[in-house]
Structure 1
Amino acid sequence: MLPTEKQYVQWHENETLHNARWLSQSNQVPPVRIVLIDDKTTADEAYRLACAGTSMLWHGDFQNARQLLQAINRRIERSEQRKISKAANKNKSTKTTAEPLVVSKQIPNLFHQQRQAQAQRSRVLSRLLLKLDASYVSQLHRAPDISAACTAAFGQLDEGMDESCLLSFRDLQGALGAAGWRAKGVPIESLGLSIFPHYGVFAPTRHEYVQLLLDARLPNACDVAFDIGTGTGLLAIILAQRGMQQVIATDLNPRALACASENFARLESAVQLQQADLFPTDAPLANLIVCNPPWLPAKPTSPLEYAVYDANSAMLRGFLQGAKQHLAEQGEVWLILSDLAEHLQLRSRDELLGWFADAGLEVKYRLDTQPKHSRSQDTTDPLFAARSAEITSLWCLVPVDN
């Protein structure tokens, strides 16, 4: 939703100073330098301006703005590919007898370099701006009806205030894409149903772990289950379908809570929802606690990335430390976790097992599955070796004194 503290941006147009509210879902600061561009602006010129830190307010055809953004993205990709090729050639020329060690040290560097490149790409692409009126209407030629998608993503602007707003075309594309997902849903074939994600909530397009939850044997008692960090609510729905009598799902993100609530209502799933940082309050002890935390220990740079990146593994470690005290007798913890962080050398298996032990938990059994997503088969990805070796596991953990 819109931030509580309003931010504004100014620019000159026909020697007149204009003022508009600044909207940014990636928490980018309002632009300082803004130039006006239109259909006559070439992609090369727009790319140079964006790379130099200049924001561009689009005054041309709406559909041409989309094409311009694609053209800028292609130029970014070519620049990144040249850097990758240059680095690869440099590595070839500096091979030593200790080559395995050199390659090993390069893996985490490649990950951080890729993250930096993604952040730079996001900044550059976000410099193409659009102006919308107070009802999220664009006056550009061939502009579609975007009001409903923007309202769902960004919330209502202040009623009674006829103020326009500026936002990046990339944020608008995100809102339109989220509206599409929300309308058609993400099919979960193994369950025979669809999940409907909201803007700012990670869509479960990778759901190979669903089969792990279907294959795992439920605890002897099926009275109470927790789904920690529920997101879209998918795992809570599975637990309810599998026969857990009381399912309590938690999340801290208001967008996720609204999304999960809608999915529970659509599927008539009797799941209780609670806003909480990890574990629910005033709840009975659980026979089963399930969590699918962010898989990679790195700092998120946008709200959506909180579903993927967990700085210093804070959520994972906090979940493990608190799980035992919320378990009923003979209760189990199901941790859904990829080992991609291990292949990227961001976390070791020994560290993970050490966190289990520190939390008073031990492994009862583990179920594994291999990735099926396209990136695990993309040999051009600099991180292909790590992605292709990735395994997603359901760790069944129990208290040591069980």
Structure 2
Amino acid sequence: MDFDRIREKLNILADAAKYDVSCASSGSDRTNTNKGLGNASHMGICHSYTEDGRCISLLKILLTNHCIFDCAYCVTRKSNDVKRAAFKIQEVVDLTINFYRRNYIEGLFLSSGIFKIADYTMERLVAVAKKLREEENFNGYIHLKSIPGASDELMYEAGLYADHLSVNIEVPTISGLKLLAPDKKHEDFTKPMLKVKNEIVRFQTERKIIKSTPKYAPAGQSTQMIVGASGETDKDIMYSATYYYKTYQMKRVYYSGYVPVADDTRLPAIGSQVPMLRENRLYQTDWLLRFYGFAVNEILSKEHPNLDMDVDPKLSWALRNLYHFPVDVNAADKRLLARIPGIGMQSVEKIIKARKFRRLNWDHLKKIGVALNRAQYFMVCDSRHWERRDLDAEKIKGMILQTSSGKFRNQYSNQLSLFN
């Protein structure tokens, strides 16, 4: 084996894979059997994140960065002058096993550029997972990136060997896809999604009757959108995300800020990289939609098509809808409690349990974990000494931002004092 060449391939194809952020590994419970290698159950996958928030717990590589498409936003597009490489199937298998034995990784995240046709590429991705499972008896975590346009037969086989499948929708809107990736069709992305969704439902139903039915993609499927490449608003992005959650039962939708990779007139200018804060606000909104009972049109509208970068989306909604407040935490239902800025779902559950025994005051709420620097302006409790009801939205926002910046300055000063 030419180790220098393998190392060179690894450098090229690991670097090319860094733009894909949809590599979360939770949700699988594949356990080790017959003295096999690895375990994806419970703590078998440990998350580790880079400074910019991307998961690095898996061996994350492309099978190849050769590609037949010329998508404007993609670093591996065929017209880009980059160094190309391709792994052989056995090379990926060997790398995974050797890295796992050395405790470098907990599993494999495998994507690929498209060479020849979609099915040829997808067939090779499936072959890697099949070899790991059947020949190496590898029970660790495997995430395969589905290739747009891959056949139903290959998607079915992929789900038998992989814990998680994902196909990146790439651009949030159909019009944006036509502009930036004219060689691709929207149905090339949605067809594999639908197949995976239907197979997950079918296998789950069959397992209720026949316990020996194998698991199919037990960690589900996800997708990823590039944010800021085609001028879409946050409203466009969140409506698209909601559609994919509902239609294809996505486990997660990931949002990746556009990183300029080429000087193309269809794209934002070089140097106009999407800030991480916008990604963060989109994830916060995603969380509110999935777990807090919000609808997209409550947070984003024609009048407010983009998220506020100064404050989180729940606080922004509350400031625009002050007529809902103040909420009595000793009487309000779960839905209303969850809409108070500074109160998370865990705190909501604690409040509901605690108020069965007594009426709650500010001290109780602070011990429960409520962020009073925000919540105090939107609720009442069994205390009356700190209620400000004469403030408008701008004053409340200013006071919260002032408190937050002061807290940051204090933390920064404390950190500096450690070094003095």
TM above 0.5: no
Q: Which has the higher strand share?
A: 1
Normalising by structure 2, what TM-score? 0.25
Q: Which has the higher helix share?
A: 2
Normalising by structure 1, what TM-score? 0.25
